[in-house]
Amino acid sequence: MKLSLLRIRSRTQPASVRIRPQRMGFEFDPAAVPRYWFGNDPVLTHFLNALSLSFPDGEQFFVDSVRHFRDTVTDAKRQQEISGFIGQEAMHSLEHKSFNAMLAAQGYDYVAQKGSAVARYLCNEGRKRFSPRSQLAITAGLEHITAILAHAILSRPEILEQMDPSVRMLWVWHAIEETEHKAVAFDLYKDIDPGYRMRVRAFLSGSLGLLFFSSAYTWRFLKQDGVHRQPLTLARGGLRLGKLLLSVLPDYLDYLRPGFHPWDDDNSALIARFKQQVEAAVAPQYRKAA
């Protein structure tokens, strides 16, 4: 199926999408995971490693911002979607803690601990400095970023093929669930503030924060490996990462459109394509009886 056939114009969550949390129980053997597990490239690998450091506390920030306003929703179906969102984000935190522990065991303990502490600090500062409404607006914006990165992972075979099998399913599973719940925080925010200005301002602020964190900790990983003294490796990896990020730029900018909605692009076919693979990866102790 061509990529163009996976993006159908829509305005509501497709009926086939179910937002249900699933504990996967991923286990990562530090000795079995290659140091550069994404395309044998330190820059690409450490970019995603840096994002993973931000997930446990970042996902909790998202959950808290949504939970604060969930009582404003009276529709039973949407309440189920919010419960699913909260459960999925909680599972993301747990599974990425396991991944981050693997990074620490590979020798990146200082970077992993420091990065997690900085992510926690930034989230706590966000809670102090921004109103609950602004926090929800930031969540909606950052959820858009995770959704477009998820789409890139699921829709481009060349990306998945470059991920080592020892970690690939973590990113596939995370991408599926980010796609499933990509409109939950956005819809809730639109309920309480249908205006355009705060939505865009929070999106740009959140983007800058994520850019700062991911750039800083990608560099810290690279510096520990001594790659900062290898200009050709940096340039080659930087070009590959830049190409990836530029490819999602149109989708990123789409959030600035006044009439934007996350399900304007219905890519739910990607969920069905990979769901069976994910279900086969669930640890036995977390499998549900038929």
State pLDDT tens for residues 115-154: 999 999 999 999 999 999 999 999 999 999 999 999 999 9
H helix count then E strand count, the chain: 11, 2
Contact status, residue 146 vs residue 84, Cβ threshold 8 Å? no
Contact status, residue 163 vs residue 37, Cβ threshold 8 Å? yes
Residue 7 pLDDT grade (very low, low, confident, very high; cuts 50, 70, 90): very low
25: left (phi over 0), alpha (psi -120 to 50) or beta: left
Residue 238 pLDDT grade (very low, low, confident, very high; cuts 50, 70, 90): very high
* 219: CB partners within 8 A, 6+ apart: 228
Residue 210 CB-half CA count within 13 A: 22
Q: Which of 76, 82, 75, 64 is nearest to 186 (CA)?
A: 82
173 alpha carbon, distance to own chain's centre = 11
Contact status, residue 240 vs residue 43, Cβ threshold 8 Å? yes
What does the block give as tokens for 283?
């640890």
pLDDT of residue 9: 43
Q: Which of 201, 153, 172 is nearest to 282 (CA)?
A: 172
Distance, in Å, from the CA atom of 263 to the CA atom of 235, rounded to the nearest integer, reads 36
Residue 6 pLDDT grade (very low, low, confident, very high; cuts 50, 70, 90): very low
Domain assignments of the chain as residue spans, ordered by start: 35-283
Q: What average pLDDT does this structure show over 256-271?
A: 95
Looking up tokens 């956005």 gives: 186
Average pLDDT of the chain to the nearest whole number: 94
Does residue 232 or residue 3 have the better pLDDT?
Answer: 232
Give the 3-state secondary structure of residue 198: helix
CA geometry: angle 165, 270, 42, nearest 5 deg: 35
Looking up tokens 């959820």 gives: 143
